[in-house]
Amino acid sequence: MTSLVDELHALRRLVGDLELPLEVGGADDARRAQHELAEQIDDYLLPKLERLDAPLLAVLGGSTGAGKSTLTNSLIGDNVSIPGVLRPTTRMPVLVCHPDDEAWFLGEGVLPDLPRTTGESPGSGAGLQVVTSKNLRPGLALLDSPDIDSVEVANHDLAAQLLGAADLWLFVTTAARYADAVPWEYLARAQERSVALSVIVNRIPAGSEKEIGTHLGDMLRDKGLGDARLFAIAEGDLADGRLTSGLVPLNSWLDALVQDSGARAQLVRRSLDGALDSLPGRVEALASAVEVQASSGDALRAYADQQYDEALSRVDRELDSGNLLRGEVLDRWTEHVGTGEVMEKLQRGVGRLKDAIVSVFKGTDEQPNREVQGALESSLSVLVRDAADTAALEVVEGWETMPGGPEALVGASANLNRATTDIRKRIEGEIESWQAEVLQLVNDQAGSKLAVARTLSLGINSVGVALMVAVFSQTGGLTGGEAAVAGGTAAVSQAVLTAVFGDNAVSALARDARTRLLTRVQSVLDTERSRFGAQLGRIPDAESGEQLRLAASSVEAARS
């Protein structure tokens, strides 16, 4: 049976691998929740489960100017955390512990992603300043964190991370600001996670301690935080920057926690269980955000699919229209077979059909065949390229207006709204392969009739070209003389094929050749479409949300 630690590691991997790139459904909040969940597993749950007897970490958190650094220094009895003149004051978090506990906090047991520095005074920049003091009892560390409402985003993000790593929150506020909204947002997190909590009201006007303490106590109970320990500290003189009074109740309570192993274990267990209890709800919210992302990604993908399916349909319609027999293709085929002459001879009767065909094709070399094939290839290439260009532009313009679309386009090539630069080469390669397939079809179909084809002196290539032309020889979309010539073209190719294979086989051959051509066109368009699929590669699918739920369930099962 896997352990709770193993299951937490599995959940952590899923949370860490997740990307929420689209700005849909409160994505900013979901990313923040994802980040905080990953950090709390790393910074608190895993280290604490692996060593339940680790020193107790009490994190002092609060708003700008609440006096956290002053309170930290006052509790230690030494200036270990120096308040700054500028706001926000605490630029680097300062962790103070007894020298006997330093190894634990310098290692990777807690807050493993924060680099450590040591010394008697905090520096600035990213990291954690670890300071030792014999004035603090072994088994307890105090961490002075940055402001939760810092104007510097990195500061209040770090403050949230440090609070998530706490065994105990010492939440510091002031008489003037304890009703502000931001502190209560963080206190709501404490309530959600059932973390051990103490609220310290600092800088209370002398004589108002009871009044403010009662009011704040009522507010805490109203928010479901009635179990929080409340300490009221009156405004007073400072000596060497430290409080001279009002700290006895708080110091006594902290000392008792360290000395009473049962009370300390109970506090740790409460915070640990609270964090674990919060996981299902937090994971569910994250899984729901994943599903919103997946739904938006599916809509974007479906839109791209629709445009490229329409591109294939556009090519299909053009094949039906007969437009491919305009211009050079029509000219080359007419030159090759002499449409007027053949039609005149065909009109003399079916009995003379073979003679008519022989007289047209006998003695021809392969050059005319190649010219017709080349003209077909060129026309098809332009048609497919235009369809791909249109589809790419439609997808880009559509995504720009769809939820999550602008984010899906981030990092895309500037040419994403056009077909790829090598599409012509790929189209020509597919058409050449198709033409070879058509010739093979003719060869396979001839079989025992190969002797007939030879007798007619047509040759496999000439019959193959006739089959290619038959695929495109509809007259829809053509008018006047072009329609007449195309009709004659159709009659000639039909006559050639019928003479060799018979009426029943001709239509099946033409359908087969057309299907093979469209399959190859689809292959080209699928490659074009894949560029948009790549842009959606970072978007999670709905299964990722279900995997998160299953991982959270496994964590719950491992707890029992």
- φ, ψ at 259 (rounded to 5°): -75, -35
pLDDT of residue 448: 52
Statement: residue 87 has pLDDT above 60: no
- Answer whether residue 269 is part of any domain: no
Statement: residue 532 has pLDDT above 50: yes
Q: What is the mean pLDDT of residues 316-333?
A: 62
**6 CB neighbour count, 10 Å cutoff:** 13
Six-digit token pair at 34?
């994802």
pLDDT of residue 495: 57
pLDDT of residue 151: 66
- Answer whether residue 498 is part of any domain: yes
Do the beta carbons of residue 227 and residue 257 sit within 8 Å? no
Q: Between vectors from CA 154 to CA 153 and to CA 156, what angle results, nearest 5°?
A: 65
In this structure, the answer to whether residues 304 and 251 fall within a common structural domain is: no
In this structure, the answer to whether residues 162 and 304 fall within a common structural domain is: no
Q: Which domain holds residue 509?
A: 298-537
- Distance in Å from the first CA to the final CA of the chain: 12
- Answer whether residue 322 is part of any domain: yes
- For the chain, the domain total comes to 2
Average pLDDT over the chain reads 80
pLDDT of residue 278: 93
Highest mean pLDDT among 59-63, 203-207, 416-420, 499-503: 416-420
- Answer whether residue 203 is part of any domain: yes
Query: For the whole model, what pTM was predicted?
Result: 0.76
Give bridge partners of residue 199 from the DSSP assignment.
Answer: 171, 230
- Answer whether residue 286 is part of any domain: no
From CA 421, how far away is CA 58, in angstroms rounded? 61
From CA 329, how far away is CA 321, in angstroms rounded? 14
Antiparallel, parallel or unpaired: β 238-239 and 242-243: antiparallel
% residues pLDDT > 70 (the chain): 75
Q: What is the mean pLDDT of residues 286-299?
A: 97
Give bridge partners of residue 60 from the DSSP assignment.
Answer: 144, 170
In this structure, the answer to whether residues 227 and 323 fall within a common structural domain is: no
In this structure, the answer to whether residues 252 and 313 fall within a common structural domain is: no
Which of 244, 259, 274 is the last residue in one of the domains? 259
Cis amide linkage into residue 146, ω under 30° from 0 = no
Q: What is the mean pLDDT of residues 133-139?
A: 92
pLDDT of residue 362: 42
From CA 557, how far away is CA 3, in angstroms rounded? 10
Q: What is the mean pLDDT of residues 472-488?
A: 42
Do the beta carbons of residue 166 and residue 80 sit within 8 Å? no
Do the beta carbons of residue 489 and residue 336 sit within 8 Å? no
- Answer whether residue 21 is part of any domain: no
480-501 vs 339-346: helix crossing angle, rounded to 10: 60
- Confidence category of residue 346, pLDDT binned at 50, 70, 90: very low
pLDDT of residue 416: 97
From CA 484, how far away is CA 489, in angstroms rounded? 9
- Answer whether residue 272 is part of any domain: no
In this structure, the answer to whether residues 251 and 113 fall within a common structural domain is: yes
